[in-house]
Amino acid sequence: MARVALVTGGTRGIGKAISARLKADGFKVAANYAGNTEAADATAKELGVTAYKWDVGNAQACRDGVAKVEADLGPVDVLVNNAGITRDGFFHKMSEEQWDEVIRVDLSSLFYMTRPIYEGMRNRGYGRIINITSINGQKGQPGQVNYSAAKAGMIGFTKALAQEGAMKGVTVNCVAPGYIDTDMVAAVPEEVLKKIIATIPVGRLGKAEEIAHAVAFLASEQSGFVTGATMTVNGAQYIAG
Ligand code: NDP
């Protein structure tokens, strides 16, 4: 029986590449998204995956969404917490809304999404949880105090839950992308982007498929001894200790 993978934000950017790769690896894939139904429908059609709309920053919506996915496809074996947003601004100008929204969507979503799925994984004695953090959660980034805090929080969540899930066959890991060629990075002004690329030893932005490759490794049955880890995929831009 094909295992079921749920990818949040799985219809665009890095998430789309993850959905595509997991589908190619034989999973039944549910791709969640927030509101861009046009992109979601196109991805679902292109990849042969099922798209589901809900806000990962809303606890009840996550419970309902997970229940719908499990009713349609079966219990979720692989959860990829990929959906994320930025609301950048220097801290002295950052509003409470900018702070709250990023913490809610990028960090609280880990609780909202993982909580209803983890218990089933634990009971079945198998699960793979993969959280997409960021280089900026590892090193901190000016103008992104909210995002850096949320992404660093994901790493703490991963380390703690990995230890709880270890005896129950549930692995919990992070993938920490560097700068990847997606819509999120396209929003960065061109002159800023040039300066960023100059700091990447590999000399280019990463590709979404390169993140999907790391996720596929962690999602596989053979990766059962890898847990609590953060896999850095950033072209040597920042080498975390
Ligand atoms: P994109 O902006 O390209 O895609 C975001 C995806 O997440 C979309 O499918 C979007 O849905 C969905 N999404 C956004 N908010 C919500 C929400 N509240 N509920 C459900 N789905 C939501 O992002 P990227 O592919 O660039 O980033 C993916 C992840 O990788 C993020 O967590 C990001 O922080 C992280 N990352 C990205 C880097 C990069 O260089 N791009 C670098 C390091 C980390 P919709 O289409 O409906 O809007």
Query: Could you report the per-residue pLDDT of 127-139, keeping only the tens digit for each?
Result: 999 999 999 999 9
Spatial CA neighbour of 173 closest among 114, 125, 123, 119 = 114
Overall size of the chain counted in residues: 241
Counting residues of the chain whose pLDDT is more than 90, the rounded percentage is 95
**75 Cα: distance to centroid of ligand 1 (angstroms):** 24
Atom of ligand 1 nearest to the CA of 11: 9
The angle subtended at Cα 14 by Cα 45 and Cα 193, nearest 5°, is 130
| Residue tagged 């596929």 (tokens) | 216
For residue range 157-200, list pLDDT tens digits in order.
Answer: 999 999 999 999 999 999 999 999 998 788 889 999 999 999 99
The pTM (predicted TM-score) of the whole model is 0.98
Ligand 1 pocket residue status of 33, Cβ below 6 Å:
yes
Ligand 1 pocket residue status of 83, Cβ below 6 Å:
yes
Q: Looking at ligand 1, which residue's alpha carbon is closest to its atom 32?
A: 84
Amino acid identity of residue 199, one-letter, is T
For residue range 77-89, list pLDDT tens digits in order.
Answer: 999 999 999 999 9
- CA distances from residue 77 to 52, 84, 121, 128, 229 in whole angstroms, order as listed: 17, 21, 7, 6, 19
Q: How far apart are CA 131 and CA 110, in angstroms?
A: 8
| Residue tagged 């590709």 (tokens) | 207
Ligand 1 pocket residue status of 32, Cβ below 6 Å:
yes
Domains in the chain with CATH codes? 4-233 (3.40.50.720)
Query: Pairing state of beta strands 4-7 and 230-233?
Result: unpaired
Determine if residue 81 is left, alpha or beta; phi over 0 gives left, psi from -120 to 50 gives alpha, anything else beta. Answer: beta
